[in-house]
Amino acid sequence: MKSIGFIGLGIMGKPMATNLIRAGYRLTVHDINPAPVRELVQLGAVEAGNPAEVARGCEIVITMLPNSPEVRTVMLGENGVLAGTHPGLILIDMSSIAPLTSKEIAEAAQTKGVTMLDAPVSGGEPKAKDGTLSIMVGGEKATLDSVLEVLQSMGKSVVWVGPIGSGNMAKLSNQIVVALNIIAISEAFVLAKKAGVNPRCVYQAIRGGLAASTVMDAKAPLIFDRKFDPGFRIELHLKDLLNAMETAHKLGVPLPFSSLATEVMSALSTAGKGKLDHGGLVQYFEGLAGIKVC
């Protein structure tokens, strides 16, 4: 039985860690917020005082953190994971961060005999809770094979994409597609409403054709019911798009429509709506048109 450390028990990390406990793994946990740590300890986890302590007692360390700076600090900082590491440790960073940061941390880990996977997820809080996340993995295929059962305790789909950083590149690609899907359905439903056509009927009419998508099926009913509780927060999606734009600029790849999506999310965050579910993007277009979809 593998001993696993889990660092980052937020809206995604806590249910993911819970599923590992339910799968029978011995779990050591750490978070700067004591409340979720207490909840996990009540389920059988062991608390660690810092990331280095987590690493000392585990074969695998999983991180689920907000962004690149937090992952860099937890991995490389004082009392970070690499400060307490041992040869043979496997790091699995499941955060959504810049691919170049994943490569930087993996190189530092390699000098200490530690292997790293970047394995960001898609599916939001509901799929984190029921253990059906989509997990995109970058790193050595043999390392993935050795921890596949661990990842399958948290996700329904585990796909190896390529070398380290590839997982996060796949996640950034995913976030571009999701953002532009939500913007497209938002514009379409606002247009239909303004024209006097019921958006719910439009949704039923187009979902059986080429316009159908998982994103539309997931978000349209929530938009119609005005349910904008996350889910996946606009501010987190904005973070992912900013990472995509940064990566694209470094690679010399123009992303004009992703740039527009980034500005829409930035405007909503500035207006105090960053903690809404990203289905709340519809509110930007409703504001422009002076009408609500429902």
Positions marked active-site: 171
| CA separation for the pair 13, 271 (Å, rounded) | 27
Smallest CA-to-CA distance from 94 within 216, 215, 4 is with 4
Q: Which residues contact 140 (CB under 8 A, 6 or more apart)?
A: 115, 117, 163
DSSP conformational letter for 279: G
The answer to whether the beta carbons of residues 24 and 1 sit under 8 Å apart is yes
CB neighbourhood size of 226 (10 A): 13
- Start-to-end Cα distance in the chain: 51
Q: How crowded is the C-beta side of 59, counted as CA atoms within 13 Å?
A: 9
Within 10 angstroms of residue 246's Cβ, the number of other Cβ atoms is 16
Both structure tokens of 69: 């700076």
Q: How far apart are CA 160 and CA 150, in angstroms?
A: 14
